[in-house]
Structure 1
Amino acid sequence: MASQAKSIDEYLSALEPARRDELERIRRLVTRLVPSVEESMSYGMPTLSYRGRALVYFTSSKKHLSFYPSSWAIEELADRLVGYRTTQHAIQFTLDKPLPDDLMEDLVRVHQREIDVTRQ
């Protein structure tokens, strides 16, 4: 159901409460940091865009949650991601070991900076 959602609210409403709360925390954090973000669904994932580009995606899977800040952010802050499973574009985490706010803020700021540099 969640992958066919047409809005972030619809996606989140299909999740169990604890997972929904965690993804809402991410949504609030990114929106607070970058108030101009636009919400959409892209590739079946909740997406927060900045200046016409995806700033972050976030998802819930059966065994983990994922935060997609950008490959640049993951690479730049790799030393702070020890203990989390990462791919080129995503950081996987669980409800038992969520991403700390300060880490997510820094990941978002790195990607925001990269978007600003390429959009000047």
Structure 2
Amino acid sequence: MAEKAKSVEEYLPALDPRTRSELERIRGIVTQLAPDTEETMSYGMPTLKYRNRALVYFTASKKHMSFYPSSWAIEELKEQLDNYKTTEHVIQFTPDNPLPRSLVEDLVRVHMSEIDANRQ
């Protein structure tokens, strides 16, 4: 991407089709769980905000995609993440090893509950 996208709608079409399809799938799962999310760009990444706080970020790199649900969600569900490279804040995946729908839903639900509880 030569120029930084100013919106999710600018960001996604610039990706290769497999990557775009996978990130659009993730986006759809999150917005089904939290239909009142607001889409924005933050730190150069598509971001879905819930109750005025970042719920998830997602982005594409040359060799993988990244999903940022929250460090709390990653910690709580770490036993389900053995097949992915993770850090405290991110889960990396590829089109050949995508995040299952149920895992995305669980990660999002954990973070939503933390936001609902006003965890900082």
TM-score normalized with structure 2 length = 0.96
- Asked whether 1:115 is paired with 2:97, we answer no
| 2:67 counterpart letter in structure 1 | F
Show the counterpart of 2:27. 27
Change (3 A) 1:14 1:2: farther
Q: 1:17 Cα deviation (Å)?
A: 0.6
What is the number of equivalent residue pairs in this alignment? 119
Q: 1:98 Cα deviation (Å)?
A: 0.2
Show the counterpart of 2:47. 47
**SS of residue paired to 2:117:** helix
Moved over 4 A (4+): none
User: In 1, Cα distance between the equivalents of 2:83 and 2:12?
Assistant: 26
Q: 1:101 Cα deviation (Å)?
A: 0.2
User: In 1, Cα distance between the equivalents of 2:13 and 2:4?
Assistant: 12
Structure 1 unpaired stretches of 5+: none
Show the counterpart of 1:36. 36
Show the counterpart of 1:5. 5
Show the counterpart of 2:77. 77
Task: Write the deviation string for residues 59-116 of structure 1: whole angstroms up to 9, x where unpaired.
Answer: 0000100100000000000000001000111000011100000000000000000000
- Asked whether 1:60 is paired with 2:60, we answer yes
Q: 1:2 Cα deviation (Å)?
A: 6.9
User: In 1, Cα distance between the equivalents of 2:62 and 2:17?
Assistant: 14
User: In 2, Cα distance between the equivalents of 1:96 and 1:18?
Assistant: 10
The question of whether the paired residues in 2 share the 8 Å contact of 1:2 and 1:15 is answered with no
CA RMSD of aligned residues (A): 1.2
- Asked whether 1:96 is paired with 2:96, we answer yes
Give the percent of matched residue pairs that are identical in Structure 1 and Structure 2: 69
Q: 1:3 Cα deviation (Å)?
A: 6.5
**SS of residue paired to 1:113:** helix
